[in-house]
């Protein structure tokens, strides 16, 4: 278990900050229904596994550099206000 929403948000943000270079960080549901946070590099994706992506954040520099320069944590702080939770919930229920 990843814990409460606050804990998941903190773990997801931390993983995205630590995702070295270009890539994405994902919240996924594995085939057994467990949630996990996965970071991929470059064009990597959990779509090639049995995991179902629920949420992702792009941490390639093109996603945030114009607005946030090198401040990836600031970008991620603002990311949470943009999440479509209805879409995440539909993916979780699928």
pTM of the model: 0.90
Arithmetic mean of pLDDT over the chain: 94
pLDDT in tens, 23-69: 999 999 999 999 999 999 999 999 999 999 999 999 998 888 888 88
Instruction: Report which of 84, 61, 83, 82 is spatially closest to residue 72, judged by C-alpha positions.
Output: 61
| d(C-alpha 86, C-alpha 64), whole Å | 24
Q: What domains can you pick out in the chain, each with its CATH number? A: 5-93 (3.55.40.20)
Q: What is the DSSP letter of 44?
A: -
**Nearby residues of 12 by Cβ (< 8 Å), 6 or more positions away:** 25, 27, 37, 55, 57
């Amino acid at each position: 278990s990843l814990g409460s929403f606050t804990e998941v948000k903190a773990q997801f943000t931390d993983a995205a900050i630590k995702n070295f270079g270009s890539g994405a960080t994902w919240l996924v549901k594995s085939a057994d229904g467990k949630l996990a946070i996965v970071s991929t590099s470059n064009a990597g994706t959990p779509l090639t596994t049995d995991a179902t992506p629920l949420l992702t954040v792009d941490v390639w520099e093109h996603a945030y550099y114009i607005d946030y320069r090198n401040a990836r944590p600031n970008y991620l702080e603002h990311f949470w206000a943009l999440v479509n939770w209805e879409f995440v919930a539909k993916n979780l229920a699928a």
